Amino acid sequence: GCSVLPAAGPTARQVDAGAEVATPDGLFARYEIIDITPAVVEALRTRPLDSLLASFGDHRPSLEPVIGIGDYVSISVWEAGSGGLFSGPLVADRFSAGSKSALIPEQVVGRDGAISVPYAGRIQVLGRRPQDVQSLIENELAGKAIQPQVLVSVTKPLSQTVTVTGEAAAGARIPLTMRGDRLLDVVASAGGVRSPVNETFIRLSRGTLTATVPMTTVVSNPRENIYLRPGDVLTLVRDPQTFLAVGALGNATELPFSAEGITLAQALAKARGLSDFQADPTGTYIFRFEPAAVVRKLNPASKLLGSPLVPVVYRVDMRDPNSLFLTQAFRMRNRDLVYVSNAPFTELQKVLSVFSTVASPIAGAASVYS
C-alpha cells in the first residue's frame, strides 16, 4: 500500500538501495553514497577549485607596448630652420622665424600595418614601439627636411585594451597601462560591479580558453588577481548562490546563501530544520556532482570514476550527536540539494489515514442502520 501513496520523494531505504541497480550484466552504479565523517570533511577542504592563476598564469605584460592594427597614431615633425617641408616661411618684417613644426592629423593603423607620412610614404609601424617609428620616419625624411625631429604618440591604443562586459558599472574597452594592470585594476577602471561581490563571478576569455571563478576568490586571494593581456575579454556574471531544500523540512524551497559561503548546519537552519512529525533523522542527504578527483580521494574503488563529474549523495545521521559538529564543518556549494526523507511512521500514518477515510462512511452507515 505504501508504494502507491503520495510522497515528497524516496525514503531513506530507497535512497540507499538505489545507488546500484541490477542489470543483465550485473550491478550498475548510479551514484555514490558517502557518509559524512571528519575524514570526508577534511578531504573536501582540499577540493580543487577553478583558478585563473592555474588556467592563465600570472605573466606580467610587456612594459613597452607596441603599435597594433586599429591604433590611432599622431605624428609631430620639427625642423631646425624655417622654409622647410614642415616649417613656415621666414617673416622678416615681424622678426619671426615662422613655425618650425607641423602636426600630422592622427590616423588609424591599417590592416597592412602601416600609416602614411608626407614625403616619407607608407611607414610600417605594426609591432614596433613609438620610439622605433620615430627613428624610422626621421631616416626617411633625412635629406628632404631640415634636420627633422619626429614625435610619435599613440592617442588611442585600441590594440592594447581589455573588453569589460556584464555586471560592470560601465562596460567598456579599457586600455592597459605601461606598468601592467591586474584584473581588479581593470574592473575598477570600468566603474566596479553593480551586484554584490558574493554573487558575482568573473569569466575571463583569452584566445580559445575561458575560466570562471567567484569574485570572492580573486578578492581574498591576491595570487588570483592576475595580470591581463591585450585582447582579453572580462565578463562579470551575477549568479546568486543558492541551494535546494526538499523533503521533510520546515521550508522546502530554493534558498540563497546570503553570504560568501554557508555550512550544512546553516542550510538546515535556513530551511527551518527537520520537521518533527515527518522527518527521518537518519535520512538526511546532500545531492551533488563532484569532480572525479574528489571522489577518487573519498572512494578509490568507485565504479563511476570514468566520468569527469560523479553524482554523489552525502549521508548524515542526525540522531548521532557528533553529526551536529560535522554539519558545522561541511561546506555547502552552489546548487546543492538537501533532502530529508519521511520517517517510516509517516508512511504508516498515510495508510491509516486512507483506511480511515474509506471506513468512516461505512461505519457511519452501519451506525444509522443500527
Is the model more confident about 359 or about 87? 87
Domain 72-156 has CATH 3.30.1950.10: yes
Q: Are 139 and 121 in contact (CB under 8 A)?
A: no
Q: Is the pLDDT of residue 180 over 90?
A: no
Mean pLDDT score across all residues of the chain: 83
Percent of the chain with pLDDT over 90: 33
183 sits in which H/E element: helix 183-189
Going by C-alpha positions, the residue among 238, 188, 185, 232 that lies closest to residue 208 is 232
Burial 8-28 (b: 16+ CB within 10 A, else e): ebbbbeebbeeeeeeeeeeee
Band of pLDDT at residue 80, cut at 50, 70 and 90: confident
0.85 surpassed by pTM: no
CATH 3.30.1950.10-classified regions of the chain = 72-156
- The class level of CATH for 160-238 reads alpha beta
Between 79 and 366, residue with greater pLDDT: 79
Q: Which part of the chain has CATH 3.10.560.10?
A: 2-49+241-348, 160-238
162 or 49: whose pLDDT is higher? 162
CATH architecture assignment, domain 2-49+241-348:
Roll (3.10)
Per-residue pLDDT, 146: 85
Per-residue pLDDT, averaged over 181-202, amounts to 89
* Backbone phi, psi, residue 362, to 5°: -65, -45
Task: Name beta bridge partners: 289.
Answer: 311
pLDDT of residue 368: 61
